[in-house]
Amino acid sequence: MNTEVIIMLVIGIVAFLYASVGHGGASGYLAVLAIFGTQPELMKSSALVLNLFVSMSSFLQFYRSGHFSWPKFWPFALASVPMAFVGAGIPLSAGLYKQLLGVCLILAIGRILWRPKTTEDPTAPVPLLGGLAVGAVIGLLSGMLGIGGGIILSPVLLLMNWAKLKETAAISALFIFVNSVSGLSKLLTKGYVPDQQTLYWLAFAFVGGLLGGYAGARRFNVPTLRYALALGLFIATLKLLFT
């Protein structure tokens, strides 16, 4: 089995796992590409493309199951979308890009392993200024790195008691989508065109995302695969920070 086939299969598994918790999977795709020595420029653009389809397929599954809340979504998105566009245009050195991505992968590991209990307790409303501030910071970082920001937003929603578990997944999925659209739009204005390799990755990510979103919206859990994914992200983090 050649390297390209392995990358496509792993990307499909990553998409399944991330979509099951309402994420697009950019941090996972970036980890896979980092392990295989992909250039940062290709990593960033490819992750945004993959994010678009996986996050939307995941969102639709959670939305159809009645878990989405517009009032809790829009304050974050209002600030994050323009900041993601700005962030995508900020050039980063390869070293700084890898260091920032390594930090985000650490957050992703925590989010994957952390399984908060579902509760029926009422949640607090999202404060307008707090939502705008959080959205702006996450949006800027999302655009700079080529991630959707869900790995940062979802812990904030849960820790601040702004949303329940499934609600968080639905909000994060659409948040990732709109940020990815914004960041990718900036890259397109700079002449980016997806290559054939990225389209192959997209096919596997799309299928994995559809299956993962369906499974996650219906309380399916795959602990062994989650632990394997966390280990892979940890290996990628070490590679990014120390090579």
> Rounded to an integer, what distance in angstroms lies between the CA atom of residue 235 and that of residue 201?
21
Is the pLDDT assigned to residue 179 strictly greater than 80? yes
- The answer to whether 72 and 124 are in contact (CB under 8 A) is no
Q: Is the pLDDT of residue 180 over 60?
A: yes
Residue 241 pLDDT greater than 80, yes or no: no
Q: Residue 142: which of 35, 234, 52 has the closest Cα?
A: 52
Alpha carbons 167 and 110: distance in angstroms, whole number: 19
Could you tell me how far CA 124 lies from the centroid of its own chain? Answer: 24
Q: Is the confidence at residue 68, as pLDDT, over 80? A: yes
Rounded-to-integer distance, Cα 26 and Cα 149, Å:
9
Residue 139: pLDDT band with limits 50, 70, 90: very high
Q: Measure the CA–CA gap between 143 and 79, rounded to whole angstroms.
A: 13
pLDDT tens sequence across 182-235? 999 998 898 888 788 888 888 888 888 888 777 777 665 556 656 666 766 777
Chain segment 24-64, per-residue pLDDT in tens = 777 788 888 888 877 777 788 888 888 888 888 888 888 98
pLDDT tens, 152-167?
898 899 889 899 878 8
Mean predicted confidence (pLDDT) in 138-162:
89
pLDDT value for 87 = 93
Supply the Cα-derived Rg of the chain in whole angstroms: 16
Q: What is the mean pLDDT of residues 106-123?
A: 71
Structure tokens given for 115 = 């399984």
Structure tokens at 171: 């909000």
Nearest partner of 94 among 223, 205, 195, 243, judged by Cα = 243
Pick the closest to residue 82 from 17, 137, 43 (CA basis).
137
